[in-house]
Structure 1
């Protein structure tokens, strides 16, 4: 079913109540011309695949995103801009400013999306290589800013986006520590969701956990999960790291189960093994984590020393 909310994201989107289809205002006005040989005429004649309109994740683009970011649509936008500038009709003059603003907004959105994708890729690479994002001087010495500047020197569109005078009054460059942390959070959530998806697909898994103080002497509980994926390859992934205060076997067992519970699709029924070190609070047969976890789940879960 068509949603009016889509108008906010795609201002050139149109919908016919009578015919029950969506179309593109710009491409309907300028369906032919150079650069549109491979363009689909679906957005001129009408699109009805409502279940495929929105994107599903970053890998599966919806029909709207595919069309409004396509080269043929950009060319149609350019044709509309030339038409609005050259025509002197009253209707065109009245709508000219509004259309120009909308066209500029859409072009800015597309450029912003392209720049953010590059910055996200830089953040992903730094995280993948376990490199620090920032140095002692957060403004200039950090790896994230330096690599972003390096890429910009070889990417004119990113260079233009970073140095655009129109952006300077608002300082919207997404290079600040706050933006870097946001990129890290987005990547963290994406990786965690992929891990949860694999665990759910495997149906059975074992849990491992241990505590260790960090540089600020705060005790951290690390919960890891071991499972076999659909290709029969064993995987061992950290599911969560959290501050822990209750070091008793009961307290640690509760926090381990809470870590699994926080990822809703992970079912306790799939937990078939548990593995910890030799400390009494973890391996104890009466008050250790392994015993309390079995009592909380309500069934026998074999314990293996690690």
Structure 2
């Protein structure tokens, strides 16, 4: 099953040793900041909230340097700070950045200027209209990031706050409903079965394996039947496709964590093969082979990842990236198995 970027990112970072973050001494200049994804997942919201409380880096008293753009000497205009609360300026880079997108930039490719306002820094002072272009329409990447920043500062809307306000009875019903969905996802993953059907509406005869299994489970367990499907709150049934994906990704993350713990610091080999998905995009499937502590030969599926092309250089780069993501050192690699294709 294909995993989204967030799940892969969560898996890789959750395995890194957690380093205590000094919120009082976070880098102010955007040029010196680490990417949010480089912080431990448990620290990210604390860091985001700290930056939002400090506010955008806007050095009003700085003597902004001039440089030649076209035939005219131009510089950053500090008056833009009043117009754009999100706008930041790096003294080190002499570039403009976006605070909202730094904290919550979705992976939407080059929409709204791509990484210009996140990592590279915008510096074409001749084209102020690029600031408006970055903001974009109502549902742009920038505005989605802004909404998430506003929600983060609104403690009343946080999941932890809402959950803590619930009674013990409500929490118990929630856990029963969640466990039922998790059990269905785990079973389908273990059997290698698809989750969704062609039509998940109530009158459909092909609602998919997940809903059919959940209905079967409720039919044979009175406690579960009381809290799932039609007996659950309409906005809290925990059966939506994105809920199914989130649970599946969480299960995959825990499974992969168990595999890597079983491997420990032992040497390993990899088995690699190309595999296209249903949309005919090239993918690379990677399997770990190692000997466990009882002397048994073990083969475990490590993951599947998209590749831009199937050239030797690109495949090698992808393998290096996957191993690095899971803290698997090349020095421990003792063997490599491929198919008989020439590029492999």
* TM-score, normalised relative to structure 2: 0.48
| Structure 2 equivalent of residue 186 of structure 1 | 250
What are the Cα deviations for residues 156-212 of structure 1, in whole angstroms up to 9, with x where unaligned? 2222212687823xx2010111111111111111111111112225x1001121212
Q: Residues 239 and 165 (structure 1 numbering): CA distance in 2 closer, same or farther, change over 3 Å?
A: closer
- For 1:166 and 1:254, how far apart are their aligned partners in 2? 47
Q: Residues 104 and 226 (structure 1 numbering): CA distance in 2 closer, same or farther, change over 3 Å?
A: closer
CA-CA distance at 1:280 after TM superposition: 2.4
SS at match of 1:226: strand
| Structure 2 equivalent of residue 174 of structure 1 | 238
**RMSD across aligned C-alpha pairs, in angstroms?**
2.3
Q: Compare relative contact order (CA 8 Å, sep 6+) and give the higher one, 1 or 2.
A: 2
Q: Residues 253 and 164 (structure 1 numbering): CA distance in 2 closer, same or farther, change over 3 Å?
A: closer
CA-CA distance at 1:119 after TM superposition: 1.7
Q: Residues 209 and 104 (structure 1 numbering): CA distance in 2 closer, same or farther, change over 3 Å?
A: closer
| Structure 2 equivalent of residue 122 of structure 1 | 184
Are 2:329 and 1:267 equivalent residues in the alignment?
Answer: yes
* Superposed counterparts of 1:241-256, under 5 Å: 241-256=304-319
> Is the 2:177–2:238 Cα contact (8 Å) retained in structure 1?
no
Are 2:285 and 1:222 equivalent residues in the alignment?
Answer: yes
Gaps of 5+ in 1: 1-100, 283-306
Q: Residues 244 and 107 (structure 1 numbering): CA distance in 2 closer, same or farther, change over 3 Å?
A: same
> Is the 1:210–1:222 Cα contact (8 Å) retained in structure 2?
yes
> Is the 1:208–1:224 Cα contact (8 Å) retained in structure 2?
yes
- For 1:165 and 1:122, how far apart are their aligned partners in 2? 18
- For 2:337 and 2:318, how far apart are their aligned partners in 1? 15
Gaps of 5+ in 2: 1-162
CA-CA distance at 1:121 after TM superposition: 1.0
Q: Residues 164 and 208 (structure 1 numbering): CA distance in 2 closer, same or farther, change over 3 Å?
A: closer
Which of 1 and 2 has greater Rg? 1
SS at match of 1:208: strand
SS at match of 2:199: coil
CA-CA distance at 1:102 after TM superposition: 7.8
| Structure 1 equivalent of residue 9 of structure 2 | none
Q: Residues 154 and 213 (structure 1 numbering): CA distance in 2 closer, same or farther, change over 3 Å?
A: closer
- For 1:102 and 1:220, how far apart are their aligned partners in 2? 43
* TM-score, normalised relative to structure 1: 0.54
Aligned residues: 178
| Structure 1 equivalent of residue 216 of structure 2 | 150
Are 2:264 and 1:200 equivalent residues in the alignment?
Answer: yes
Q: Residues 165 and 224 (structure 1 numbering): CA distance in 2 closer, same or farther, change over 3 Å?
A: closer
- For 2:313 and 2:164, how far apart are their aligned partners in 1? 59
